[in-house]
């Protein structure tokens, strides 16, 4: 039997995406409290994310969302990693407030531990992608679109990691079909 790598590329990439989700879930947590959500987008969900990124670009004026919206269409899967907002009651002042009680008046400010936890989960997932020599890139824009679509319920900080397996990483040296006009 002869199996060309092009014939089972999708299957292999989805296996890596599943391993990335496991790595994100099992990543260390700053206080040992799991406030991380992890999901995988494929096919029509990637299309939905791309469309939401275009809408967000129009609303926000952030043009790089347009480039990224085109770019993710080359992904076989996108791993979404988010953090729920939860006060960890450490009074560490890492968020800029002296105490957690002082910060609570400004409930939109995330606990710094939550932000670090999502970063550690992203790093763990990206390490799995790297270990499997899968092309990837961490994208704020994808996460913002996922929030707009309500994809990770309760999460206020979300990032997306599109993955691909091609001869050149499509997520770097990107040129938009819709360049920013000067």
Half-sphere exposure of 80 (CA within 13 A, CB side): 26
Who wins on pLDDT, 86 or 121? 121
Question: Residue 133 corresponds to which tokens in the numbers above?
Answer: 């020599």
Which domains does the chain show, CATH number per domain?
Answer: 24-84+117-164 (3.40.109.10)
Q: What are phi and psi of 170, to 5 degrees?
A: -75, -5
Predicted confidence (pLDDT) per residue in 60-103, tens digit = 999 999 999 999 999 999 999 999 888 888 888 888 888 888 87
The residue assigned the tokens 């089972």 is: 8
């Amino acid at each position: 039997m002869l199996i060309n790598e092009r014939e089972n590329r999708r299957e292999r990439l989805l296996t890596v995406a599943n391993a990335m989700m496991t790595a994100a879930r099992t990543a260390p947590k700053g206080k040992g409290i799991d406030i991380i959500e992890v999901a995988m987008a494929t096919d029509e969900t990637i299309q939905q994310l791309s469309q939401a990124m275009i809408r967000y670009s129009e609303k926000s004026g952030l043009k790089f969302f347009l480039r990224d919206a085109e770019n993710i269409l080359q992904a076989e899967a996108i791993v979404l990693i988010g953090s729920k907002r939860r006060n960890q009651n450490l009074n560490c002042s890492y968020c800029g407030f002296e105490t957690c009680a002082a910060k609570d008046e400004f409930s939109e400010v995330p606990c710094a531990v939550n932000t670090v936890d999502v970063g550690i989960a992203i790093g763990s997932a990206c390490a799995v992608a790297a270990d499997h020599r899968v092309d990837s890139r961490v994208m704020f824009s994808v996460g913002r679109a996922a929030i707009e679509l309500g994809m990770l319920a309760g999460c206020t900080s979300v990032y997306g990691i599109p993955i691909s397996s091609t001869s050149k990483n499509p997520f770097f040296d990107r040129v938009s079909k819709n360049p920013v006009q000067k």
